[in-house]
Structure 1
């Protein structure tokens, strides 16, 4: 029930965000991605070739692409600590660090280029403010109901690359 309430709240917020934006009618080739996607995995590849799972073995996430060229992404680490005080404003530094490192979310507009197999995210707002106002390009593959893309400019900085896999929900 708690997950349903959180998901419903997230969707209501995203609908309000999209409703306030002017619709982008010049979005080519985006229909194959339109809909809801659930997160399968995020795998970071370090410069030495080693791999890590920054959001755990079974991360939670939702990706929304709408017909007007808007998107929203929410990624959460598998397990995040509860805030002992029951008030996020009273979280300890350790609790805050775990919450920040266990979350990645952003929204804005997107374009798909089928020829070059790229998705271009125009990030409007983001949990990681360094991404706000930036353009993030991802190479992607789409196979049946699986979307896989590569992030070369990760929130971890440096030369870390992330491979993100989503499964079509709707």
Structure 2
């Protein structure tokens, strides 16, 4: 019997690409740059966590998380995406939802968002099911992830 979609998702995945395509036909863009960093994890007990970042984030001059300048906080918040909570897979429909228990973006806290999911070997493609607003545009988001190596080993 083949593994279920849920079983195939379990584990850690490293971000390969994050691209947004405006629905108005304008040029696609990469909100976290050409080589974004990130990890998404799915646990056997039904939770997920996504952390995405620009690779070139500047340090706070003070070295204190709670003592940054307005500019530092703006740069911090616009270069990082983070949310965690339960996930659900509908095996019959082959669909995935992420429920945001916590989120860096407060508007997402408490939301459940559907994802279009496609698994090809060690590559996971996730995209928004319907357009979202990003950088002032209505876009479809597409993210590609590669399964991370088992802990303690490198690939």
Aligned residues: 143
Between stretches 77-86 and 130-139, larger displacement belongs to: 77-86
C-alpha distance after superposition, 1:113-164 (max 9, x if no partner): 2443321111111111111111100111100100001124546275211101
Alignment match, 2:22: 46
Match of 1:89 among 66, 72, 77: 66
User: 2: distance between equivalents of 1:159 and 1:116?
Assistant: 26
Alignment match, 2:146: 167
Superposition RMSD in Å: 1.8
TM-score of the pair, normalised by structure 1: 0.77
User: 2: distance between equivalents of 1:120 and 1:61?
Assistant: 19
Q: Gaps (5+ residues) in structure 2?
A: 151-155
Between stretches 158-167 and 100-109, larger displacement belongs to: 158-167
Higher strand share: 2
SS of the residue 2:73 aligns to: helix
User: 2: distance between equivalents of 1:154 and 1:39?
Assistant: 20
Higher helix share: 1
Alignment match, 2:85: 108
